[in-house]
């Protein structure tokens, strides 16, 4: 855990979040500022700052996050219509929280190209 990391604090329960799923490896919770009718953030419990900090040891973890995303999409009723899974990496990618997270967005039609 990184002492001054918002998402590490959510992962251990020090900061409250509306959690929709959790297990030994990941936590998923509603985004505080939703950009779609369904907007869930999926994070690893382990502190990893960005996608660029991933190591080979984390290959299974990233696969797991994708399976969890699919499960949450089905449970929340957005799987059949479709959804988007997004990682913003570094500043130009739109990242503002420096703990790896994937945005699961659905419940409306997603635009392409993204903004």
Instruction: Write out the residues near ligand 5GP by the rule CB under 6 A.
Output: 6, 17, 29-33, 41, 88, 94-97
Residue 107 CA: distances (Å) to CA of 22, 48, 77, 98: 22, 29, 8, 26
Identify the H or E element spanning 84: strand 83-86
Q: Nearer Cβ to ligand 5GP, position 37 or 94?
A: 94
> Integer distance in angstroms from the first to the last C-alpha of the chain?
32
- 99 interface partner picked from Zn ion, ligand 5GP, none, CB below 5 to 8 A per type: Zn ion
Range in contact with Zn ion (rule: CB under 5 A) among 63-71, 83-91, 98-106, 107-115 = 98-106
């Amino acid at each position: 855990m990184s002492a001054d990391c918002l998402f590490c604090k959510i992962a251990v329960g020090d900061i409250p979040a509306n959690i929709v799923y959790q297990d030994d490896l990941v936590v998923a919770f509603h985004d505080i500022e939703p950009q779609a009718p369904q907007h869930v953030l999926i994070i690893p419990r382990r502190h990893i700052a960005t996608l660029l900090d991933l190591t080979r040891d984390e290959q299974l973890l990233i696969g797991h996050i994708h399976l969890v995303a699919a499960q949450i999409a089905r449970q929340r009723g957005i799987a059949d219509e479709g959804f988007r899974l997004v990682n913003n990496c570094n500043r130009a990618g739109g990242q503002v929280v420096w703990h790896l997270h994937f945005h699961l967005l659905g419940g409306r039609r997603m635009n392409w190209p993204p903004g």
